[in-house]
Amino acid sequence: MSSFGRVFRVTTFGESHCKAVGCVIDGCPPRLPLGDDDIQAQLSRRRPGQSSLTTSRDEPDGVTILSGTERGVTLGTPIALSVANEDQRPSDYAAMQAIPRPSHADYTYQAKYGVRASSGGGRASARETIGRVAAGAVAEKWLRLAYGIEIVAWVSSVGAVAMPSAVATLNTWTREQVDVNAVRCPDQATAERMAALIAECRDQSDSIGGVVSCVCRNVPVGLGEPVFDKLEAMLAQAMMSIPATKGFEIGSGFAGTEQRGSAHNDPFVLRPDGSSTLGTKTNKSGGVQGGISNGESIYFRVAFKPPATIGLPQTTAAFDGHETILEAKGRHDPCVVPRAVPIVEAMAALVLIEYVPLNQEKKEKR
């Protein structure tokens, strides 16, 4: 299904070449100040054509609020958001109808549905993420106003080019620092090497993978659920639902499996802020214990594979089974992680808002 969340429920719609893509948000609290600008900022960070490192499909991706607000505030009713599809070149894709692109969704969609959009990725297109980013921007605004929660993601590796561990673990990045370069890696020296690698892959009609890191700050203690809906489990679902993801880890992650408990445990300490609450000396847990937030920063990493659509010729089988050579046309990103940054942030916001009491309703005893 195309819905996420039980409380702040987002349903996205739209294929790569239909009239519009967007979403409906059901459950947004009332009385939240909300205008197009609140949503557009993140959409513009996601949109194609931002730099020479991304796809040349150029879309303004301007959002329209169809319902759910009046006089600049939310009404507590469903918020429908719509973004027109403008730059359509279905003919680019016509040749690919007979040949499922390797590691793309053509084959599995056909198997599941018995039909698929004739052009581009259809519903598997990255354009589906527009609805996510739009909804995430609304969630994020509410979380920021209500709790001061900050969510910042950045590119921590492209191919084998990774941020040095000393800077990679910093917890103070802002979106402004992340956006100083087109790669969205806040360490400038690393960013330059990443950009060079992406440009190289682009020029070779190839693609490359990468990792996006994300931190959520000022998350209150006690958010989460103890069993199937653990906070880290829902973050994992949310992130692994983003196209092209292959892995998720929180806190110490896979590296933590090599440690001993005596080194890995996060001892409690009295917070120095006079709040009489406990914090932890280290944060191997990544801000979550037993599925519930402990008040420390939540940080996690998401693995993105190299984009499946490449310009290089590929030997593969057509739907009818005969071996052929596929040469993809169309426009595509040589590396998705720069544009994935706002998508990761959006999904993080959509997870967190599920666990926060929304105070949506004023209920008074008689």
Based on CB atoms, which residue is closest to a copy of itself, 186 or 243? 243
Q: Give the number of other CB atoms < 10 A from CB of residue 103.
A: 16
- The answer to whether 345 and 214 have CB atoms below 8 angstroms apart is yes
Based on CB atoms, which residue is closest to a copy of itself, 115 or 176? 115
Based on CB atoms, which residue is closest to a copy of itself, 176 or 337? 337
- The answer to whether 242 and 344 have CB atoms below 8 angstroms apart is yes
What is the Cα–Cα distance from 15 to 53, expressed in whole angstroms? 24
Q: How far is the CB of 129 from a copy of itself (least distance, A)?
A: 10
153 forms beta bridges with 214
Q: Cα 120 from chain centroid? A: 21
Based on CB atoms, which residue is closest to a copy of itself, 21 or 137? 21
**What order do you get walking across the sheet with 9-13 strand by strand?**
3-4, 9-13, 20-26, 79-84, 63-65
Q: N- to C-terminal Cα distance for the chain?
A: 41
Q: How far is the CB of 116 from a copy of itself (least distance, A)?
A: 7
Q: Give the number of other CB atoms < 10 A from CB of residue 281.
A: 9
Q: How far is the CB of 307 from a copy of itself (least distance, A)?
A: 6
Q: How far is the CB of 335 from a copy of itself (least distance, A)?
A: 9
Q: Quickly tell me which residue has 């605004």 as its tokens.
A: 141
Q: How far is the CB of 6 from a copy of itself (least distance, A)?
A: 7
Q: How far is the CB of 85 from a copy of itself (least distance, A)?
A: 9
Q: How far is the CB of 44 from a copy of itself (least distance, A)?
A: 22
Based on CB atoms, which residue is closest to a copy of itself, 140 or 296? 296
Q: How far is the CB of 220 from a copy of itself (least distance, A)?
A: 5
Q: How far is the CB of 319 from a copy of itself (least distance, A)?
A: 7
Based on CB atoms, which residue is closest to a copy of itself, 166 or 363? 363
Based on CB atoms, which residue is closest to a copy of itself, 62 or 76? 76
Strand, helix or coil for residue 33: strand
Based on CB atoms, which residue is closest to a copy of itself, 164 or 290? 290
What is the Cα–Cα distance from 332 to 103, expressed in whole angstroms? 14
Q: Give the number of other CB atoms < 10 A from CB of residue 197.
A: 19
Strand, helix or coil for residue 243: coil
Based on CB atoms, which residue is closest to a copy of itself, 176 or 256? 256
- The answer to whether 215 and 348 have CB atoms below 8 angstroms apart is no
What is the Cα–Cα distance from 338 to 335, expressed in whole angstroms? 7
Q: In the structure encoding, which two tokens stand for residue 137, read together?
A: 């921007």
Q: Render 91-130 in DSSP notation, one character per residue.
A: GGGGGGGGSPPTTSSHHHHHHHHS---SSTTGGGSGGGHH
